[in-house]
Each structure stands twice: as structure tokens, then as C-alpha cells.
Amino acid sequence: MMDIRNIINKKRNKAELTDDEIRYFIQKYNRGEVLESQAGALLSYIYLNGLTDREILSLTLAMANSGDKLDLSEISDNIIDKHSTGGIGDKVTLILMPLIAALGLPVAKISSRGLGISGGTIDKLESIPGFNTEISLEEFEENIRDVGVSIINQTFNLAPAEQKMYKLRNLVSCADSLPLVAASLMSIKLASGSNKIAFDITCGSGTYIKTKEEAKKLGKMLVKLGNQLGKKVGYVISLMDEPLGHSIGHVLEVKETIQCLRGKMPQDIGEVVVALGSVILELSGRRKNIDENSKIIIDTINSGKALLKFKEMVASQGGSIKYIEQPEEFSKAKYIVPVYATESGNIEKIDADIVGSIARYLGAGRMNEDNEIDKTAGIVLEKKIGDSIETGGVLAYIHTNDESKVLGATQNLKEAYKLTNKKVVKKSRVLEIM
């Protein structure tokens, strides 16, 4: 007779778990019949000893089969999803969803709230007054069919075991276990009905994957899982050593998203958007040439079609279009404080991990799902890597509703910047496209 303690011991001793043992664990854990301490112990041993390809596939299927599955095949042969492994200031999903839908490719996105220093797509969209991410699955499918794009919070019975595992991974410091990450991501995609998936695998100080080598290893896992599950997968490896774009924080990032869709896109965001959009077009079979794909993506933004689709998506889920047309109407933090440079030079480094931690301290992040977030809090960077600044110039602005946090945040943000007298060449944010 199977017992969770035997399964834990087996993985502790570096043995390979059977499909039945993995299914047993997921089923029992999902029903609350395995203690959190026992599940945490098993994840820790998986973190230390890894999983074989077969174990990863088995875990993916077990989590996907722990709840309902959507079938969107009647809507289109191409159901697109894009997922990022996270990063500071990452609003690429907000830009790409309407952009791809504007090209006639249906986008089905199931997302979650942010934990730690990375903001969640759901939280950002919910900062638009009225925007509802808790629509029914029927409305979700209807929006995909009629509007071409929809996003929902992962609160339905879709891969519920994955939701529990995701939270536990963060609690027991196993968030960066690549086998667990790969199984987690693909189980959601298997349950959500998408069949063409582009992953933005971020690496660097501002995310949990620190090196390009680790990012590539995860990418290969995801492609292999996709092949095994009958889904086409592509990925982009992007650098997250400095925050992406200028804004960090929910309202601030939505406002920057609107500017991007209006064609005023910072170079670093544009590089990632174009690369991922090109991968999606290739996955869908629309185009094969990366240069041609890139031109299509840029033209779709410049034509205003992506912005129009964003408005349609917001309206279809109850959001107020007024804020998209007049971003200045969004609520603002009570205190918006400049951070001044104490020396002159060229910006050589901005530590994304420090910036993200400061944004969370200001109220723009949560450590667990019960924490409230301040959607107006955050940081706007005036200077990025490669820019020059004089003593007394503004490096950034802090947005907060808590005056007592201004002094500490200001000092820490200055420390996130590293200046040099040498010329600094901006690196491309896109390291690899597959």
C-alpha cells in the first residue's frame, strides 16, 4: 500500500518515482490528505535531487488532471498563450495579448496574482477600475471567440494542485527548481486549452533564474514537454539585470503599457515584445522569417490596432475605457518624491532585485496571498543603463502613500544605481530566440 512517507524517503534517496507514486502524491495533496510539512519535504528533496524527464512529464499530467480542462479547439487551431517567468517592471504580457489578438490569433491567458518582488498580470489589470478577472469560464470562452483575447485569474478548478504547489514552492524556497517550474507551467497550459505557447524566460538579478545557462535548460525542458503533450512551444531568453521599461508598480505599469501601445515604447520593452511576437507568429505558422515577423509586430503597434484591441479586451471584462483614453485619470500615490544623484557619471548598473524589493516595501508587492497591495505605489526610473547624469539630477521617482517609507526607500534606491566615468554600451535585452 502506498504511503507518502515512503515516497518522501524514496526521493530523499535519489530514486526515481513511478507514475503511480506521483499521481498518488498529487491526488492526496490536492485533497488535503498530505500534510504541508510532508509536501514541503518532498519538494525539498526534488529540489536537491531533481526529476527525470519521465517524472517531469508525469508530474505535469498529474497536476493538469487534478481539475477541469478547457477545450478551445472549436474556436481555432491556433490558441495562443504567452508566459513570462517574471521580472521587475515586466509588462510585456499586457502589450502582447492585444497585439497578437489584433493579428487574428486568439489569445487565452490564465494568470495569477504576484508574489514576492515580481508583480502579477492579474493585479496590474485589476488596477484598471472595473476590470474583472473573475469572469466565468463561459464568458472567458465567449471573449476569446468574439474579442479574440481574454484573461482570467487561476481561481477556477483548472490545475488546482498546481496552485497549491506554486504557493508551497515559494514558502519552502523551491521557487527556482527548474523541473518543478517546467511541470507547473505546462500543467496550466495543458488545462487552459492553449496549443501554441511562447515563454519569456528571464534571467539575471531581477528574477529567480540567474544565468542564461539555467534559462536555456528550462527552455529545453519546456520544448520537450510541449512535444510530448502535442503543444508547440517556443521561447525567448531575456536579460533581467535591470528593470524592464521605466515603471515598476501596478498603475504605473498599466500607464506605461498604454504609452507602449500608442507607439511610445522604450527600447528594452520593444526588443522583448518584437522577439516574442515573432516567435508566436512562427508557432502559428503565419510567418517563418524573423525580420518579416518583426516588421508585422511593429506595424501593428504603429497602426493603433493593438491599442484598439486592448480597449476591446478591457471593455469586455468590465473595465473603464476612460482610463485607457485618459491615463492621467488613474489614482496617484499621495507622495511622489524625486531621488537625486549624489555624483555625476554614466549609469553602469541598476540592480533589479534591489529595485523590486524597494517597490514591494513601498506597498507594490506581497509576500503571501493574504497581503494587500497598494496599486498606486511603485517607482519610475528616469535614468536607465547607458544614460548619463549630473550631480543633483533625478535618477527616479518614488510613489508611496506612506511618508515614513520615503527616506529609507530613497537611500536604498540610490544604492541600486552604480555609476562609472567610462562609456557604457547598452546590451540587448534579448539573449536568445528559439
Q: Is the pTM of this model over 0.85?
A: yes
- 80-155+172-325: CATH class: alpha beta
- Mean pLDDT taken over the chain: 93
Q: What SS3 string covers the chain?
A: CCCHHHHHHHHHCCCCCCHHHHHHHHHHHHCCCCCHHHHHHHHHHHHHHCCCHHHHHHHHHHHHCCCECCCCCCCCCCCEEEEECCCCCCCHHHHHHHHHHHCCCCEEEEECCCCECCCCHHHHHCCCCCCCCCCCHHHHHHHHHHCCEEEEECCCCECHHHHHHHHHHHHCCCCCCHHHHHHHHHHHHHHHCCCEEEEEEEECCCCCCCCHHHHHHHHHHHHHHHHHHCCEEEEEEEECCCCCCCEECHHHHHHHHHHHHCCCCCHHHHHHHHHHHHHHHHHHCCCCCHHHHHHHHHHHHHCCHHHHHHHHHHHHCCCCCHHHHCHHHCCCCCEEEEEECCCCEEEEEECHHHHHHHHHHHHHCECCCCCCCCCCCEEEECCCCCCEECCCCEEEEEEECCHHHHHHHHHHHHHHEEEECCCCCCCCCEEEEC
The amino acid at residue 194 is S
Distance CA(416)–CA(27), nearest Å, equals 44
Residues forming beta bridges with residue 381, ordered by sequence position: 396
For the stretch 280-330, pLDDT in tens is: 999 998 766 778 888 999 999 999 999 999 999 999 999 999 999 999 999
Q: What is the pLDDT of residue 396?
A: 98
For the stretch 142-151, pLDDT in tens is: 999 999 999 9
Residue 3 has pLDDT above 90, yes or no: yes
Kindly list the distances between the CA atom of residue 11 and the CA atoms of 39, 53, 164, in Å, as whole numbers in the listed order.
12, 15, 20
For the stretch 153-168, pLDDT in tens is: 877 788 999 989 988 9
Domain ranges of the chain: 4-50, 80-155+172-325, 332-420
For the stretch 176-219, pLDDT in tens is: 899 999 999 999 999 989 999 999 999 998 888 999 999 999 99
Q: What is the pLDDT of residue 115?
A: 59
Residue 404 has pLDDT above 70, yes or no: yes
| Residue 88 binned pLDDT confidence (cut-offs 50, 70, 90) | very high
Three cell numbers written together for 308: 484598439
- 4-50: CATH class: mainly alpha
Q: What is the pLDDT of residue 119?
A: 64
Distance CA(184)–CA(186), nearest Å, equals 6
Mean pLDDT of 104-118: 78
Domains 4-50 and 332-420 are alike in CATH topology: no
Residue 270 has pLDDT above 80, yes or no: yes
In CATH terms, 332-420 corresponds, of 3.10.180.10, 2.60.40.3680, 3.90.1170.30, 3.40.1280.10, to 3.90.1170.30
For the stretch 329-372, pLDDT in tens is: 999 999 999 999 999 999 999 999 999 999 999 998 765 566 68
Q: Are 235 and 222 in contact (CB under 8 A)?
A: yes
Instruction: Give the percent of the chain with pLDDT over 90.
Output: 84
Mean pLDDT of 88-105: 95
Distance CA(280)–CA(265), nearest Å, equals 20
Closest of 43, 54, 44, 63 to residue 17, by C-alpha? 54
Residue 81 has pLDDT above 90, yes or no: yes
